[in-house]
Each structure stands twice: as C-alpha cells, then as structure tokens.
Chains A and B, each alone.
Chain A
Amino acid sequence: MTSLEYAPAPETTKPQIRERYGLFVAGDWVAPQSERYFDTIDPSNESVLAKVAYAGAADVDRAVRSARKAYEKYWSKMKPAERAKYVFRIARAITERSRELAVLETMNGGKPIKESRDFDIPTSAAHFFYYAGWADKLEWAMRAGREARPIGVCGQIVPWNFPLLMAAWKIAPALACGNTVVLKPAETTPLTALALAQIVQEADLPPGTVNVLTGDGATGAALVEHPDTDKIAFTGSTEVGKAIRRAIAGTKKRLTLELGGKAAHIVFDDAPMDQAVEGIVNGIYFNQGHVCCAGSRLLVQESVHDEIVVRLTERLQTLRLGDPLDKNTDIGAVNSKAQLDKIRELVRSGIDQGATLVQQSCTLPERGYYFPASFFTGVQQSHRIAREEIFGPVLSILTFRTPDEAIEKANNTPYGLSAGIWTDKGSKNMYVAERMRAGVVWCNTFNLFDPSSPFGGYRESGFGREGGVHGLREYLAH
C-alpha cells in the first residue's frame, strides 16, 4: 500500500517525419547543390530519425539570393498590416500543431516532453503572436520622427538547446519588421526548424521570405561571410560568437550575439528555502542544463549552506531521469555525444580539483546520452567548474558571507547573461539586482520568459537584445 511507482506514461502522438529532407529555399524544397545528406538522430536512443540535406556554400548563396529577391520584390514592400497577417498565421499554425511539434522537439533534442509541451512550443507561438502585433505599429518602437525601416536579408544561426524557440525569437521580429531570413538550425536539431519551414510554406509566405538551410558550422560560416547578408543574429557558444565578430569586422553588417553564461544564483539566509531549492532545480536542471542562462553557479550564504545542501540532495532524489517522451520525466537525454563528453570532462576536472560531487541516484538507460542531475560542493572561484560553462545538469556551489561579497563573486566572471537572487527582503533584492552585471536578473524565481521581456547579455555573453521592443529594434535600420 505504501508504494506509488509511476507507471510509464509515454506521449503517444506520432509526428510526421520524412525519410529525407531537402533545403527550404525560395518557398520550395530543393535538393542540395552539395549533393550531401547527413543523419539526424534521437539522442535518447541513438536511432536515426531522418536524413537531412547539407547546405554548402553554393546552397547558401542560392538561399541568400532568394531572400534578397523576396525582400526587394515582396516583403519590404508589403503593407505592414498584411505582413502581420502572415506572422499571425505562423503563430496559429504552431499552436494548432503544438503537440506534434513538441514530440518532434523532444525526439530530436532529448528534452523532456513536459518541457517542450509546456515551454518550448507555447513560448515559440507566443513570440510570433507578440511580434505579429508589432508589424503595423513599428513607428512606436522608434524615436519620434524617425521612420521604421527594415534592414534587409538576415542570416540567423540558432543553437540546439531550444531549436524551435530560438528560431522563433529570431524569425518573428525579423519578419514583423519587413526583413527576409535565411535560418541555419543547429547540426544536431534540424527537425523542428524544417517543420517550421513546412508551416511557412503552408502559410503561403512569398517565396524566399524565409529560407531554412541545414548543415554544420561551415554552413553557418558561409552564411556569415556571404557578402549580401545585412545582418547576422547568432545564438550559441562564445567561441563561435567571437569568430563571427572577427569575420564580419569592417563590413556594414549588423550583429547580435547571444552567447554563453555562467550565471550566479544567489541565495540569502532569509530566502524562502523550499522555493529557493525549487528555483535552483529549475535554474540548473531545466533542459538538462543546456540553457545559456542556467543558474550554474550557486552562491549560498554560509549560514544556510548546509541546509540548502541537505534540501537539494533530497530534492535531487525525486527527479526522474529517463525516456524524454514520458510525461513524468524531469531529466531527459543530453543532446549529443560530444556534449556528454564535454560534461564528463568538466565533472572530472571538478573532482580532480578537490570539489565534492553529489548526484541523484538512478540507473541510466543503456542506450542514449544521459547524465544524472549533479552538484558540487566545496567549489572555489578558481576551479574550472566555477569558471567554464558546463552546459549540463551540473551545479557548482560556492559560499559568501555578506551581500557585497555575493555581488563581487557573482560579477567575477567574463560572462554576464543572467543572475538570480533569493531573499524575502525586497530592498535587498533591489540592491543586489542593481549591481548585477547581467542582462537578466530574476528575483525569487528563475528561467521565466515572456515575449515582451528583452533578453540578452553583457561582455562575453554577447550583445543585442531579443524579445520586447528592444528585440524589435535589432531588426530595424538605424
């Protein structure tokens, strides 16, 4: 009578997956001029889901030319209210196909279905809805008397952690402002971007307004270096971000970069402890820690350090790791073998440098890429696990004694994407938040997003903002 084992509760919707995908260029599916295809897999069991076209430099050129043509001929000339209708149409289609898209996202990326169902897909639709509403009100985003003009052709490169959502963050404002787009999804997670291309096709956007090129880093580089792209928007690693910036230095191209992070998550002794623990869990284990704004550096006031560790250790045991398609799964699969290796390597360095590892006790599935929810205590500011982005379900716990020490330690990183603060005292929340060098500061919550709220980084976390009116201005000519 005293056992409540949760029986498997798999999501049963079957998404349509084609055997082979071409490139989406000029409103149509075309074979790649590279003549190459590559496999895309399900990281939860390593099975091949589909073959995807590889876009080489010639394909990039073709896509950029089609985007240019669409820009000159249709999209920038269209009445803004008409543009809005198309963007609304995309938003509605995402909503209508939300279940299928959620399953697809989970299969291709490894994230738990509850997250793709309750976060990724609804938030993607919300971004299209939000920016559709802006399309005919763009002058309100400008200083008085200035005309709202689009930039031109935007090359957009998105990461594998939130494949559809990141595409939505980039495409929605670009379209609303009258730009055309060449989107390059991540190498490991092309399927929802290709589903979005299908939606764009069904929504009957003028051909070439949105182009989707699948490929790898070289595809992205060709897009960045193409002489006829007017803007590059990139979300991904700091390393690649720096390379992009070097590549377009001296050109007139506009650039926004949303890069890595090593967010400080500060817990004061007067915090609501149980909710702080929930915030910590949400901050680092959401999407297996594949979140650029993850609260990966926990700064705990010394007086409550032990209590937090005990509570967190207990809470870890209730996390359910396993089949990402099971509705009760909290921790899904790591996105790729390469990422899993990187996580393991950094965890190894943490142990070697003297930190103490605590992990959830669970058996990992035999196939697929999994890493248990973990945290380190006894981490020092100088440790690699306190400085480098792990991008996995691994938290580093450090301590502080006073608010000013917390602020100093929090800011002592080359990154500056996000931060979190837990205290019951409003004035302390404001004092600390004001002093955080981070683009987003969450107070008594973590990882909350809304299309109307700008998101972006400081320093090595990049520049430019996505979301809100700030995100809109990134797609309007100065």
Chain B
Amino acid sequence: MGSGAVPLCRAPKVERVARPASFKIQRARWTGPQSWFFYGHSKCGEAEPAGALMPATVDAVMLEARAGALAKRSIKTTSKIAGIRLAVACIDLTTLEGKDSEGRVRSLCAKAIRPAQHLPDIPSVAAVCVYPSLVAVAKDALRGSSVLVASVATAFPSGLSSPAVRLDDVRAAIAAGADEIDMVIDRGAFLSGRDRSVYDEIVAVKRICGELHLKVILETGELGSYDAIRRASDLALEAGADFIKTSTGKVGTNATFPVAVVMCEAIRDYARRTGRAVGLKVAGGVRTTKQALTYLVIVNETLGEAWLTPERLRIGASSLLDDLLMQYEKQLTGNYAGPDYFPKD
C-alpha cells in the first residue's frame, strides 16, 4: 500500500466459508503489503484488540531456550506408556513418494488400522496421508476402520502450479473420497509479501473442503525466520485452517521443537481471541519416540491437555511408528525386540 491514506478496511469476505459457528474474523486493517492485518496483542478473550496493535514478534534466543527446556522433560514409566499410545493415535501415517503404488498404500493402510498384532493396547493411527491419485485405494483399504484418509493437495509439495490447477487438485482429492486435505501455501507469494493472495487461497480451499478438515502446510523450513512462521501461522488461522502444519517433509529443514512452540503459541492466542480451537500437525523428520514425546510435552505445556487428542494434534510420519512400537514393548517387557519383530512399511 502507498503512504498515508490507508483506509480502514473490512475483513475480507469469508462469510460464505463453511466453518464452526465460533469462528469469526477479528478486526482487520490494511497496513501494507507485508502485513495486511494486525494480529493485535489483544486483551485476552475480548472482542476488540485492546492493547497496542502490532504484529506478534518472536525472539529466537529465548524461544530456542524454551524449546530446549521442554525437550529436557523426563517422560518415564507410566507417562511414557501413555505418551506412546497417544502419539500412535495422533499419527498421520504417510507415504509421499514418486514410487508409491497401490500395493504400497494397501500395506500401509493395514498397518495403520492395526499397528502391531501382538500389542492390542496400541490404537489405530489417526489417518493415512497419500497423494490424491491414491486416495481411492486408501479409502477402500481403510473401509470400516476409524482411520481417515488425508490427501495432500494444491500441487504438493511446491504449490507452484496455476491457481486453477491447485484448486482442482483439492476437488479431485475430495471426489476420490479424502476425509482431510493437507494443502501447501504458496511460499513464493508469502515471501514476496503477497500475504493477501496466500490468505485468499486458503479461504478458497476451505470453501471447497466444507466440513472436511483442512490442514495448511506452512513449510516452515522455507520461511526463513520465526517471525515469518508466526505471521504465516496467524494468516492460516485467520483464513480458516482446521490444522496448521509445519512441513511437507520434502525440504532440508522440517519440523523442529522451536517451530512447534511458535505455532502452538499462535494457536493458543487465536483460540483465546476467537474461541476456536485449531489443531497442530508436526511433520517431517519425526523418527524417534523421544522426539514424539517432546512434541507432546510442547503441546501439553503450551496449549494444554485439551490439545492432546487426534482431533487437535497430528504427527505426520512414516518410520516413527516402528520406533514407538519398539519403545512400547521395551517399556512393557524391559527388553528391546529386534526391528524384525514389527512389520515394516
């Protein structure tokens, strides 16, 4: 926007978006291309931001210290068992490779429903996450189970197709039976300051999704700073995301503990302001039980226990499940079973 004469602007028209009744856009104002609305440090729970109107900023040093402290929580014995079961229940078991085939997806789905035959206490995972062309296969393989089918969309992972193609991608996935959509934001647009276009696309995708869960992938490893991650989180929350998700798993840096803390803080502030509870999905690079438990601790101590459910927390992973099962058995028996005692995939 130009200088001086910046008009007060209504929030963009999102009324037609299907969304929970509690969701309403707060006061929004044009301030320029980089930041098209104020996120307002608001007096918590009040309709109008009462404090100073300025974007939420993040200090890297203290953030990383906080994340490091949370990573040092010691989760042992009974809480470790509870934590492992919770982590399994929150997994979006994922296969997103060029070589994915029907057989591979069916195999993954079987494991998603019943991760380990000899460990009946282990629940099914939350969802299986695949490319749109394999949604129908997954849907068929998961029929009758509680496991949902999540599909990546909007030209995953880069998001760099034409807007029409990106939206068609979503429609195709839904037509094939997807229960949840994992969309990517256009990082090029975000990083060049076209926040509005990113926002509009999320709104448009949510409109197509209707009641279906929309997870918005920020690809935090490409955003360059915690401030940008916070801004992207706020943008996605305001635009109607049901989950905000860290990463595609396709770039060098995926989910990290500090990034999860920042996104939890954004979710918490948004929930406090609007009453709408949005979920968090961490994805990419989560391979060990220790990492998974740390994410549970981060969510527990930033968002609270109400978020410790697959409705509000997902962990996008593939090999993590094997380690969780191994650690679970170790916790029960005191011994490590070899990796071959658990089905691969």
A residues bordering B, Cβ < 8 Å?
1-9, 114, 118, 269-276, 278-279, 282, 301, 303-304, 306-307, 310-311, 318, 327-328, 424, 444-445
Contact = CB atoms under 8 A, between A and B. Distances in A.
B15 interface: no
Contacts of B97: none
B305 interface: yes
A424 B61 CA distance: 12
B253 interface: no
Q: Which 7 A-B pairs have the closest CB atoms?
A: A9-B74, A275-B62, A327-B74, A275-B59, A272-B59, A269-B52, A7-B79
Query: Which of B41, B51, B59, B306 has the most chain A CB atoms closer than 10 A to its own CB?
Result: B59
B77 interface: yes
Interface string B110-127: 000000000000000000
B56 A444 contact: no
B301 interface: yes
14 contacts: A1-B86, A2-B305, A3-B82, A4-B83, A4-B308, A5-B79, A270-B52, A272-B63, A273-B41, A278-B66, A304-B41, A327-B72, A424-B59, A445-B65
Contacts of A4: 79, 82-83, 86, 296-297, 300, 305, 308
A325 to B, nearest CB: 11
B57 A307 contact: no
Nearest to A114: B72
A269 B41 contact: yes
A444 B59 CA distance: 7
Given A1-B85, A1-B89, A328-B73, A274 B41 contact: no
Contacts of B78: 5, 7
B281 to A, nearest CB: 17
A327 B77 CA distance: 14
Interface in B38-69: 41-44, 50-52, 54, 56-59, 61-63, 65-66
A270 B301 CA distance: 24
B161 interface: no
A279 B62 contact: yes
Contacts of B337: none
Nearest to A313: B44
Interface string B156-190: 00000000000000000000000000000000000
Contacts of A424: 57, 59
Contacts of A282: 65
A274 B303 CA distance: 13
Nearest to B226: A272
B309 A2 contact: yes
B43 A306 contact: yes
B99 interface: no
A269 to B, nearest CB: 4
A2 B62 CA distance: 29
A7 B80 contact: yes
B301 A318 contact: yes
A439 B89 CA distance: 52
Given A5-B82, A278-B66, 4 more contacts: A1-B85, A7-B79, A310-B44, A328-B73
A283 to B, nearest CB: 11
A267 to B, nearest CB: 11
B77 A7 contact: yes
B59 A269 contact: no
A270 B86 contact: no
A114 to B, nearest CB: 7
Given A2-B308, A3-B305, A272-B57, A306 B62 contact: no
B58 A272 contact: yes
A271 B57 CA distance: 7
Query: Which of B42, B50, B51 has the most chain A CB atoms closer than 10 A to its own CB?
Result: B51
Contacts of B77: 7
A310 B65 CA distance: 22
B251 interface: no
Query: Which of A9, A275, A310 has the most chain B CB atoms closer than 10 A to its own CB?
Result: A275
Given A4-B297, A307-B43, A274 B265 contact: yes
A272 B62 contact: yes
